[in-house]
Amino acid sequence: MKLFVYVLNQQEKIDEVLSGFIEIGLTGATIVDSVGMGRILAKEVPIFAGFQSLLSGSRPYNKTILSVVEDDEKIERALALIEQICGSFSEPGAGIAFTLPLDRVFGLKPEIE
């Protein structure tokens, strides 16, 4: 059993990603609004270049998806799905995904196949 964490930079694709998760049998997840470190530490603010500053921090906010997954194969399918929707992880903008092994989990509802 693993905790699957995905930081989605392209907020507008959250619905598409979650719908895809359901289709591959990953039916439970918690979504958290999150902010990148660069965004917090950026000190200079625009004076006349307001629009340009929106582009330089063009993805100022992101969504962090947390999901407990029992089956490793579903994680592989989730990763493939994310790359299909958001682009390759080797390219900037696709976000970050990682997994963590879990010792004990309480209150987890069974996944719907």
Cα–Cα distance for residue pair 93/73, rounded to 1 Å: 25
Min CB(56)–another protein separation in Å: 10
| Residue of 27, 53, 64, 99 that binds another protein (CB under 8 A) | 53
Task: List C-alpha distances in Å: 105 to 1, 5, 50, 60.
Answer: 9, 16, 46, 32
Which uninterrupted H or E stretch holds 81?
helix 72-86
Query: Does 98 participate in binding another protein (rule CB under 8 A)?
Result: no
Site stretch for another protein (CB under 8 A), options 18-26, 39-47, 82-90, 103-111: 39-47
Min CB(41)–another protein separation in Å: 9
Site stretch for another protein (CB under 8 A), options 17-25, 40-48, 67-75, 92-100: 40-48
Q: For tokens 């039916």, name the residue.
A: 27
